[in-house]
Amino acid sequence: MMSEAKRMHPAATIFNFIAMIKDVLIPAVIGSFALIRNIDAPSWVWALVILGLLLAIIGFSFLSWYRFTYRIEGEELRIESGIFIRKKRYISKNRIQSIDLTAGVIHRIFRLVKVEVQTAGSDNAAEAGLKAVSRKEGELLREALKRAKAEATAETEESSGVEEPKMVAQRTIGVKRLLLAATTSGGIGVFLSLFAVVGSQINQIIPDGFFTNVYNWAIHLSIVLLLVFILLVCVVVWLMAVAGTLLRYSFFSIRKYEKELFITRGLLEKKQVTVPLNRIQGIRIQENIFRQPLGYAAVYVEVAGGALDKNDDFSIALFPLLKRTEIQSFVQEYLPGIQIEDRWGLLPTRSARRFVLRSTIPVVVIAAPLLYFFPSYSWMALIVIAAAAVLGYLRFRDAGFILTEKQLSFRSRMLSRETIVVDRKRIQSLSTSNHWFQRRKSLQTVYFSIASHSGVGKSFLVKDMENKDAEAIRDWYSFHSQ
């Protein structure tokens, strides 16, 4: 059906152009800004240079599109690309784990989709991607690749065709639940990190003395005005985080078929993600500090192989917001092989002091010089130290484990409380350790790892566990691994 080589939609030239501007031109201009601003040249020369660069990028973008072809031949997806160096990439259908379709704003204008093919060996990037094909072409390609094995079986059995997969369950997110998810997302940290990255990149084009002027302006503000200013910045960033969550999870729906989950989400960029059930390694329940008091949590799945989602610690959001009381029935419906238990084994009381010290010592070390040079603000440092101590106690109180015949669950907290539930056969390795301070208190740390997106594994741990509990977990895994 697709044995003839095809090109993507001509609109792919636009995506090539945007990618070159973003990945090549802008970093080059920022990186050489100090050199550029010292070149004394007339404005018409700069205009000619910019025009020449744009024409070169347009020409390169067109040639990149023209030289990119794809086809399905035999049991392989074959992609050939490259202007000066010809690249040929063959991907066996049997290695493909998922085929995702994404439609951004430009895609929707031309009624196109982006096709991303994930395999078990894919790292952060997709194994193969078609930037722009028609929606019909994308769906045909996905069906042709997904049904490879089924068609082979059907031919062997001289069957007349392949049956359509049956949808077993479906759930969507309502408007109220979406708004609650957005306002309690806690995505402020993501935006602060983004500001830090952007700030480091544009540092060279900021005028000399800018930060000095900002510092002088800030220290002349009263403490009240400074706090108000910080509060306003936090509110603006929070509103940006709310908008980001709304754009990301609008029209969220999850559908379950016999062998896979099909997740659709996004307002500006509509993404369709396929999750094979046999690649799921475990589920992760995240309760951030805003959602936990309200009794809500987000549910993720850890999937082996592929670059499935970079924004949630490389996990996939199975549902962005559920009541805690709904999670058990939800998991039973979509992942019946996983049981959600609530009989937590807690840490011994003597572990509490270690958790509190681990949280407060770094804060004290940072605050000590500030207290020395700015003693009038010592009350602020004391508040921060007290908050760190409370956080340490919460980490102790929430840490725990559940061991059943087939499953191991760990619960821990940094700021958010996280629960990971893993089937024994999905655990890649399990180990315990203790150092001198722990041995004095008969405590151990238990680690386990599972296969993750890049094939290097993802680890989870609980610190300061009772010796006998750690040994019971180790024996449980060791016994079943034999």
In the sheet that holds 87-92, the strands lie side by side as 69-73, 76-81, 87-92
CA distance readout (Å), 56 to 16, 50, 59, 84, 262: 12, 10, 5, 15, 41
pTM, to two decimals:
0.76
Amino acid at 4: E
Average pLDDT, the chain: 83
- Residue 55 pLDDT: 92
Nearest Cα to Cα of residue 196 among 184, 188, 185: 188
Do 479 and 455 meet the contact criterion of CB atoms below 8 Å apart? no
Q: What is the pLDDT of residues 3-32, one digit of tens each?
A: 788 899 998 899 889 888 888 888 877 777
CA distance 72 to 130: 13
Helix 188-201 with 223-249: angle, nearest 10 deg: 100
Percent of the chain having pLDDT more than 90?
A: 35
At residue 20, the pLDDT reads 87
Give the confidence band of 454 by pLDDT, cuts at 50, 70, 90.
low
Cβ of 112: how many Cβ atoms within 10 Å?
25
For residue 157, what pLDDT is reported? Answer: 47
